[in-house]
């Protein structure tokens, strides 16, 4: 007998342009042999909110797609006696303002909110108020809000080293209060972050296999093993030199550990305020996350998702890497890193279709934008858990509830094909334009008496 334990995650209004909620529900129930008892739906997309609010425009996708507003989805939930969960990525990208943005060590910002900032908490409370009212008007009560606890503190690679965030006014103040030597942390050469982080071709590489009791010597050992700073410094040294270098590395590692604890405090304080705002409304607070021992992108240890009382449920991919407490309950999310890859894909799609945004951000090139959608689709495809992994986990523990992603492999495949055509067409167009322009330059050079350059 099917158990009522499954949430259907509809990550973006755009999906409803391809399938109705009836179709998505029927498809998920058929594949997984469960009854869908709730639908998860986003509070916003990068262009705006999924409901009418004075604080932001309506999402571009909601405008374009019939029946895709949050109140429409609430109506459907009521009609079908299905619960409603709201999902919230914590970048608040639609705000597009340095009021909330994270700040990198060198002072640059990214279109991603700092969850420690008072402005972010104010924005979140306003958003939550508006969404709950919009849904209550349709006679529906929201069961929970799932906060995306992934990639909270963006990192960027730069000539082999990694820039960390956030160093906004509020974060800096808290880091200093926790005893962090900010000048050393931000400007020391070599940077203590190089012990654990590196910019490599495949992106930012990080060592994460340590817990909250990590010592400077463990940091050095991990760094050496991972081919990071300690390996560079200690490789081929004599015993005497090694001793001296280890002393220096130990000092850097001590600073780094102090930072890790200070960042963890900032993150947990920020999440606490968000969780408090949700629970003050009588709504449960969930987290969708990735289980890393230590998560450099989030500034917390995976056990913090469970031991802090912040969340009523934790959504994560099937895994047995870490011994997870049974409370609060886990829920199998079918994609690695929570909604990170799903959100990236729909963000890329939205940017492709929103020429205003592309002009503003200097990405106004059809071919390149379509290619980015394809790239994001492929990453999502690679990040999806196989049905086998989900079945094995459910076989071992039949009571494990599910979050079924409505974006399945077939849909991703369809998107890749769609955008490949667009990308090819645009690339051909660009190549033709480049050839024409090269021909013109050559002709001009000849007219001015110069010869061919090649």
Residues that bind Zn ion (CB under 5 A): 114, 116, 166, 168, 171
Closer Cβ to Zn ion, 34 or 175, answer by number: 175
| Residue 68 or 275 having the CB closest to Zn ion | 275
Of 272 and 307, the one with the shorter C-beta distance to Zn ion is 272
CB of 102 to Zn ion, least distance (A): 6
Nearest distance, CB of residue 182 and Zn ion, angstroms: 13
Shorter beta-carbon distance to Zn ion: residue 116 or 301: 116
Residues in the chain, how many?
Answer: 454
If the CB atoms of residues 162 and 412 are measured against Zn ion, the closer one turns out to be 162
Distance CA 261, CA 185 (A): 14
Nearest distance in Å: CB 266, Zn ion: 7
Three-state SS for the chain is CCCCCEEEECCCHHHHHCCCHHHHHHHHHHHHCCCEEEEEEECEECCEECCCECCECECHHHHHCCCCCHHHHHHHHHHCCCEEEEEEECCCHHHCCCCCEEEECCCCEEEEECCCCHHHHHHHHHHHHHHHHHHHCCCCCEEEEEEEECCCCCCEEECCEEECECCCHHHHHHHHHCCCCHHHHHHCCCCHHHHCEEEECCEEEECCCCCCCCCHHHHHHHHHHCCCHHHHHHCCCCHHHHHHHHHHHHHHHHHHHHHHHHHHHHHHHHHHHHHHHHHCCCCEEEEEECCCCEECCCCEECCHHHHCCCCCEEEECCCCCCCCCCCCCEEEECECCCCHHHHHHHHHHHHHHCHHHHHHHCCCCHHHHHHHHHHHHHHHHHHECCHHHHHHHHHHCCCCCEEEECCCHHHHHHHHHHHHHHHHHHHHHHHHHHHHHHHHHHHHHHHCCCCCCC
**Which CB sits closer to Zn ion, 166 or 369?**
166
- In Å, the largest CA–CA distance within the chain is 85
Q: Which is nearer to Zn ion, 259 or 341 (CB)?
A: 259
171 vs 334, which CB is nearer to Zn ion? 171
Q: Which is nearer to Zn ion, 116 or 306 (CB)?
A: 116
Provide the minimum distance between the beta carbon of 164 and Zn ion in the complex, in angstroms, as a whole number: 11
d(CA 241, CA 365): 53
In 3D space, the residue among 339, 8, 384 whose CA is nearest the CA of residue 147 turns out to be: 339
Query: Please, what is the minimum distance in Å from the beta carbon of residue 288 to Zn ion?
Result: 22
Q: How far is the CB of 359 from Zn ion (least distance, A)?
A: 29
CB of 113 to Zn ion, least distance (A): 9
- Tell me the closest approach of the beta carbon of residue 117 to Zn ion, in angstroms: 5
Whole-number minimum distance, CB 429 to Zn ion, in Å?
42
User: 116 or 259, CB closer to Zn ion?
Assistant: 116
Question: What's the half-sphere exposure (Cβ side, CA atoms, 13 Å) at 137?
Answer: 12
Q: Which is nearer to Zn ion, 78 or 172 (CB)?
A: 172
State the minimum distance, in angstroms, from the CB of residue 409 to Zn ion. Answer: 37
Shortest reach from residue 274's CB to Zn ion, in Å: 14
- Buried b vs exposed e over 46-71: b needs ≥16 C-beta within 10 Å? bbbbbbebeebebbbbbeebeebbbb
Q: How far is the CB of 167 from Zn ion (least distance, A)?
A: 7
- Name which of 108 and 434 has its Cβ closer to Zn ion: 108
Phi and psi for 286 in degrees, rounded to 5?
A: -110, 165
């Amino acid at each position: 007998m099917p158990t009522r334990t499954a949430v259907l995650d509809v990550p973006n209004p755009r999906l409803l342009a391809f399938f109705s909620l009836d179709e998505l529900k029927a498809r998920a129930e058929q594949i997984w042999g469960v009854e869908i008892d709730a639908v998860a739906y986003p509070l916003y997309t990068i262009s705006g909110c999924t409901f009418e609010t004075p604080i932001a425009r309506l999402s571009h996708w909601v405008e374009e797609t019939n029946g895709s507003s949050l109140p429409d989805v609430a109506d459907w939930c009521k009609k079908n006696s299905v619960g409603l969960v709201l999902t919230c990525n914590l970048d608040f990208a639609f705000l597009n303002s340095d009021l909330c943005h994270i700040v990198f060590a060198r002072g640059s910002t990214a279109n991603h909110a700092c969850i420690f900032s008072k402005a972010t908490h104010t924005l979140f409370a306003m958003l939550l108020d508006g969404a709950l009212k919009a849904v209550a008007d349709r006679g529906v009560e929201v069961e929970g809000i799932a906060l995306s606890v992934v990639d909270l503190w963006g990192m960027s690679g730069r000539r082999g080293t990694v820039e960390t965030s956030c160093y906004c006014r509020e974060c800096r103040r808290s880091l200093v209060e926790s005893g962090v030597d900010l000048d050393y942390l931000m400007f020391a050469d070599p940077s203590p972050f190089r012990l654990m982080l590196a910019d490599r071709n495949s992106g930012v590489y990080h060592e994460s296999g340590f817990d909250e009791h990590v010592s400077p010597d463990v940091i050095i050992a991990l760094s050496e093993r991972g081919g990071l700073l300690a390996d560079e410094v200690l490789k081929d040294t004599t015993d005497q030199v090694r001793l001296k270098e280890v002393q220096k590395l130990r000092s850097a590692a001590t600073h780094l550990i102090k930072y890790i604890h200070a960042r963890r405090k900032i993150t947990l304080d920020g999440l606490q305020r968000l969780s408090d705002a949700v629970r003050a409304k009588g709504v449960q607070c969930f987290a969708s996350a990735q289980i890393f021992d230590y998560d450099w992108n989030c500034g917390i240890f995976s056990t913090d998702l469970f031991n802090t009382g912040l969340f009523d449920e934790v959504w994560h991919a099937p895994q047995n890497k870490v011994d997870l407490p049974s409370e609060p309950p886990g829920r199998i999310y079918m994609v690695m890193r929570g909604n990170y890859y799903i959100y990236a894909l729909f963000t890329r799609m939205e940017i492709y279709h929103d020429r205003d945004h592309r002009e503003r951000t200097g990405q106004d090139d059809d071919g390149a934008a379509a290619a980015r959608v394809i790239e994001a689709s492929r990453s999502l495809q690679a990040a999806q858990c196989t049905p086998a992994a989900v079945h094995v986990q459910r076989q071992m523990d039949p009571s494990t509830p599910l979050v079924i992603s409505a974006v399945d492999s077939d849909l991703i495949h369809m998107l890749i094909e769609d955008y490949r055509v667009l990308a090819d067409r645009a690339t051909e167009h660009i190549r033709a334009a480049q050839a024409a322009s090269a021909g013109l330059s050559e002709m001009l050079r000849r007219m001015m008496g110069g010869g061919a350059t090649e």
